[in-house]
Amino acid sequence: MSRPQAVAIQVSSAQQALLERLRRRQTADQRLVRRASLILALAAEPCVEAVARRLKLARLTVRLWRDRWLQAIPALGRAEQHQATPQQLLGLIAQVLGDTPRPGAPATFSPEQVVQIVAVACEPPEKSGRPISHWTDRELADEVKKRQIVKNISPRSVGRFLKRGRPTASPQPLLAER
Enumerate the domain spans of the chain: 13-97, 111-164
pLDDT recorded at residue 2: 65
Cβ–Cβ < 8 Å for 19, 76: no
Cβ–Cβ < 8 Å for 40, 20: yes
Spatial CB neighbours of 81, under 8 Å, sequence gap ≥ 6: none
DSSP H helices in the chain: 13-24, 30-44, 48-55, 59-81, 86-97, 111-122, 137-146, 155-164
6-22 b/e (C-beta count within 10 Å ≥ 16 → b): eeebebeebbeebbeeb
3-class secondary structure, 59: helix
User: Which stretches of the chain score pLDDT less than 70?
Assistant: 1-4, 165-178
Give the span between the Cα atoms of 60 and 41, in whole angstroms. 15
pLDDT recorded at residue 162: 86
Residue at 27: amino acid letter: T
pLDDT, tens digit (0-9, with 9 covering 90-100), for 56-66: 999 999 999 99
